[in-house]
Structure 1
Amino acid sequence: MEHPSPHDALSRFHTYEAPPAEFDPQQADARQLRRHGFPRRPDAKTEPQLMRLWQRAFRRAPRLHMVKAELEIDPIMSGRDRQRPSKADFSPSGWGGVVVSTGAQGFSPYEPANTVFAEWVVPAIFPVAGDPSTSLTVGFWVGLDGSDPTSYELLQAGTAATITGSSVNYWAWTEWYTSQYKDPAVQVTNFAIQPGDQVSFLVCAPEPGQGFVSMMNYRTQQATSVGITARPGITSVGTRAEWIVEGISADLPDFSPAAFSNISAGTQHHSFNLSTGGSITNIGGSGGKSLTQSYIASPTTALVLWEGSA
């Protein structure tokens, strides 16, 4: 299938009008929250973990400024190989982080994951010794799916950074990629970030054919949300949740430790984190060399360290 045009790709993304100045998300009803792109209010009885995170976010951002997202096609994240075929030299094919299978949670009956969340401090990145002028990119994200090579899809959002010499660019992005349609990623151009900012990202599939992404920067007190409509015949499968550092370029730039904290994921009726474990994965280089070292530091924290270049 041909790659979609930028206009066609962007038409699947929906933005939300900014709320009035006096808007209080903790007092607003569900309809008002949806209208302005706020994450839904979790049920305190059935979703206590999510409710704590929801309340905590607004306590930490008392001057929250919810803005209407401005979107552009992201040429860097769109140009990467999402399906990560193995490469003989460097393998940005690898992910560094933790993957949790929904099936391993033992839910009866089985329910697919439809929510994944984490906070992290935007890592600083640095050039690789001996190759200071080459553009190098790394991404940090949370996502759902990405496990079936025959029908690959991945709903995800996060931050990324490119370093070229002494110049570094940091940005936020999201996408719902499928091997069938190969839609590009989009950059949220009016969501400013810099290294050291603590950010949060929520990725949801509230309906099988609908995606929802919400992001917040605690330093700037800014937040925004994006809705995504799936292509015909595409639905969120929800087989797993991921907290990932991804190598994008031909080598992996040095980055300060990436700590995904307050990790949470969920299905329609259940919440889970890393308490039942997860699959630890690392970015691999030539000769089987690991370029990252990933750890489960606690049930709600995953740590990814840079170990070296390819």
Structure 2
Amino acid sequence: MSLQRPTLLVLLPALLVGSLADRSILAQTQTEASAALETEIPGVAAFTRPPASFNPLTATDAEPDRYGFPQRPSRDLGADVLARWERRVMSQTRIVPQLKQTNTFHAPIRSLKQIKASGGTIEANSENWSGYAIVDPSNPFAKPGSQVEAQYIVPKPVSGCESGSETYSSANWVGIDGAFSNDVLQAGTETDLDCAAGASYYAWIEWYPNSEIRVTNLAVSPGDLISVSVFIAADASKHLSIENLTTRKSVSLAMTPPRGTELVGNSIEWIVERPTINNAALSKLTNYLLNPWTDIGGMTWPSRPGAPVAYLPNAAPAAATIYRLWMSDGTNQLGGVQLFSVDGAIPKAAPSLWFFATTPY
């Protein structure tokens, strides 16, 4: 994917009318070769609204990539997967994101300690993650066509504050890498509580070891239904999508890796995390009580033409290992996850996850 800078001749009318500050003007100056524009954050490009003539239901396989949509899923994954993709791409209104780098980091898994193993799934404790991770040593998730996605309801803090100086954080995200690798490519939302200022909610993307990048103009509220996905385009560029299905607003972005970093592609995840502040101390986990996730999906596409390979928390190829993760501070359990699935479904139905907080504070 090549990023396009608008030419001076195209921008001149906008300069004359004094509307250069309006980023929608930039969206209108993109060339037909690419729908991605550079942003104020180095290494991050934003996909703008596709032209009115673009119909994702009749587009070629290459066109969704051009406009920052996940690739059309194969019918081999089931009619429900294809229908879900069609609803997503047809119902959203793409906005040009406003971005802000912060001092919050969503890091790889920390202090992993196995509890038990059963039937190809390892249960383990982690300092910062709860959820599910799938690790495949063949590194399939770096290949074009790989994807991880989910939908969830934005949770709301339920516990009161004992003092005005306390702060709590909780991040929902899906991503590639981070389990037994030093990077994480991820997209999600945050539910934070500042006991002096109140609760706050926002969308973000990140390619760790760089810090979080907030999407400040994509509104997020408790109770909103959010869809997030991270996927590898046909040209191997790395794309991230966040859609607020309640407000029908979305952003789609592409990222290049931080200096000295490359995508390993050894794992995908569905995670609730207590992030790291200033890349130093772990935050206290927001007591969100319960947080339902649905439409859990992950896949690779080893070759085209050919069939995709599904990776789900309840079903993965034999070479892969599924991790069910509990969050613990070493003394207390802080959070966990429960898997719900329809056994024997053909094709296998997407499982659901229920996250829960058990924070002692």
Residue of structure 1 in register with 2:352 after alignment: 301
RMSD over equivalenced CA pairs, Å: 3.0
**Distance in structure 2 (CA, Å) of the matches to 1:258 and 1:210:** 31
Correspondence for 1:263: 296
Q: Which amino acid aligns with 1:116?
A: V
Structure 1 counterpart of 2:130, from 96, 101, 114: 96
In 2, distance between residues paired with 1:102 and 1:128?
A: 41
1:152-301 equivalences in 2 (<5 Å): 152-165=182-195, 167-177=198-208, 182-206=209-233, 210-231=237-258, 234-248=261-275, 249-268=282-301, 269-276=308-315, 278-287=322-331, 289-298=332-341, 300-301=351-352
Give the alignment partner of residue 137 of structure 1, picking from 169, 188, 212. 169
The structure, 1 or 2, with the larger RCO (C-alpha pairs under 8 Å, 6+ apart) is 1
Contact 1:94–1:281 (CA under 8 A) maintained in structure 2? no
Q: 1:70 aligns with which of 70, 73, 98?
A: 98
When normalised by structure 1's length, the TM-score is 0.79
- Stretches of structure 2 that go unaligned for 5 or more consecutive residues are 1-37, 113-124, 276-281, 302-307, 317-321, 342-349
In the TM superposition, what is the alpha-carbon distance from 1:247 to its structure 2 partner?
A: 1.2
Asked if structure 1 preserves the Cα contact closer than 8 Å seen for 2:168 and 2:286, the reply is yes
Conservation of the 8 A alpha-carbon contact between 1:258 and 1:303 = yes
Instruction: Give the Cα separation in 1 of the matches to 2:261 and 2:286.
Output: 34
Once structures 1 and 2 are overlaid, which stretch shifts more, 250-259 or 189-198?
Answer: 250-259
User: How many residues get paired?
Assistant: 282
Paired position in structure 1 for 2:86: 55
Q: Please, what TM-score do these two structures have when normalized by structure 2?
A: 0.69
**Fraction of identical pairs, as percent:** 24
Q: Deviations over 1:84-133 (max 9, x none)?
A: 358xxxx9833111112235xxxxxx561231100000011134553454
**Which residue number in structure 1 is paired with residue 14 of structure 2?**
none
1:95-134 residue pairs with structure 2 within 5 A?
95-102=129-136, 110=138, 112-113=140-141, 114-127=146-159, 130-131=162-163, 133-134=165-166
* Kept after mapping to 1: 8 A contact 2:65/2:234: no
Conserved 8 A contact 1:41-1:51:
yes
Q: Secondary structure at the match of 1:201?
A: strand
Give, as a single letter, the amino acid of the residue that structure 2 aligns with 1:202: S
Q: Which amino acid aligns with 1:292?
A: G
Q: Rg larger in 1 or in 2?
A: 2
Give the distance between the partners of 1:95 and 1:9, measured in 2 at CA: 30
**Cα distance change, pair 83–273 in 1 and its aligned pair in 2 (3 A):** closer
Change (3 A) 1:43 1:294: closer
CA distance in 2, matches of 1:187, 1:168: 16
- Does the Cα contact within 8 Å between 1:128 and 1:254 map onto a contact in 2? no
Give the AA of the match of 2:50. P
Q: Report the AA paired with residue 284 of structure 2.
A: D
Partner amino acid for 2:154?
V
Task: State the 1:238 CA deviation.
Answer: 1.9
How far 1:230 sits from its partner (Å)? Answer: 2.1
* Aligned equivalents of 2:260, 2:39: Cα separation in 1: 17
Structure 1 residues 252-298: Cα deviation after superposition (integer angstroms, max 9, x where no partner): 221031222111101123122123273211111252x2111321122
Contact 2:133 2:324 in 1 (8 A): yes
